[in-house]
Amino acid sequence: MGNVKRWPVLAGVGVVVAAATWWIVDEMPAVDDAVAREALPPIDEHLRAKLWAGTLAGTGFPDVRWVCTQKVIETRPDGERVKIGLVASCDEVMKEGGGLVVGSGFRRQPMVYLVERTPSGYRVLDRKLAEDGAGYSPSVKAMFSWVGARRVIHGASPDDPKTVSPAAFGLPDGTPVRTRS
């Protein structure tokens, strides 16, 4: 008789687990790799063009540029447009001698880009940055899906810009990259 009473409880638990699993999987941030691949070049260009003048820019050295890496967290259709949630890290870099020197920079900046497809590719329409300080977590939660926000808050991070800095300057892998003292 005891086994008969357990079946409804076990069945109920099974239904709850299945529903929770379906809800979590349905809420997973999806990345449309084709959209991300096509949209990242104009996003990268926009990101580098909208940065502040860093510590190296004011020195008068030639060929100072921003090098950025991004980790796409999610792509979400928004009508005819697409919201691309990502985390970016950027360094201000210049050539010096046989190597590279890093000046200013930032790490793990969450942002959401609004892009639209044009005949020539994707075009950036808008960008929203996460707030600093006490506004960080609430702004990330407002910008990203529930699961995307959790990934950002719990440490999703792009590669270090130093790993791609030599290639950005047409230099071989292994070129020394140091921080300006």
DSSP-assigned states of every residue in 29-61: PP--HHHHHHHHHHHHHHHHHTS---TTGGGT-
- Residue in this structure with the two tokens 């086994």, named with its chain if needed: 3
Partnered with residue 74 across adjacent β-strands are 85
Residue-averaged pLDDT of the chain: 85
Query: C-alpha distances in angstroms, 171 versus 14, 19, 121, 151?
Result: 57, 52, 28, 33
Q: Which residue has the higher pLDDT, 13 or 43?
A: 43
Average pLDDT over residues 64-83: 92
Q: Residues 113-155: pLDDT tens digits? A: 999 999 999 999 999 999 999 999 999 999 999 989 999 999 8
Is 54 a residue whose pLDDT tops 80? no
Q: Which residue has the higher pLDDT, 73 or 21?
A: 73
CA-closest candidate to residue 144, choices 21, 29, 25, 26: 29
Query: C-alpha distances in angstroms, 165 versus 11, 55, 75, 115, 178?
Result: 56, 17, 26, 26, 11
Which of 22-31, 60-69, 85-94 holds the top average pLDDT?
85-94
